[in-house]
Amino acid sequence: MSFLRESPVGVAMVEDETETKYFGVINMMAVVIAVYPLTYDLIGDHGAAMSHVFGAVLLTVPIAVPIYVAFKAKS
């Protein structure tokens, strides 16, 4: 309770729009991460190279948002 403070209305609206945008991006990434293994399973027989590509994409997708936020904060 001691950390609550009143903020100007204009700033709150901009922050809400930014949070909504990031929330949408994270939701879309969650859908991609959920559908990606299903697609991998449905394509059938695949080699080791394809397995590595799918694994690399699956591991790099979640880190995209923090990297984007860090670059956005610097500029």
Q: What is the pLDDT along the chain (75 residues), one digit of tens a residue?
A: 455 566 666 656 666 777 788 788 888 888 888 887 788 788 777 778 878 888 888 788 778 778 877 887 787
Tokens of 29: 């990434």
Residue showing tokens 């923090």 = 66
Residue 62: count other Cβ atoms within 10 Å of its Cβ.
13
Rounded to 5 degrees, what are φ and ψ at 50?
-65, -35
Question: What span, in angstroms and rounded, lies between the C-alpha atoms of 12 and 6?
Answer: 10
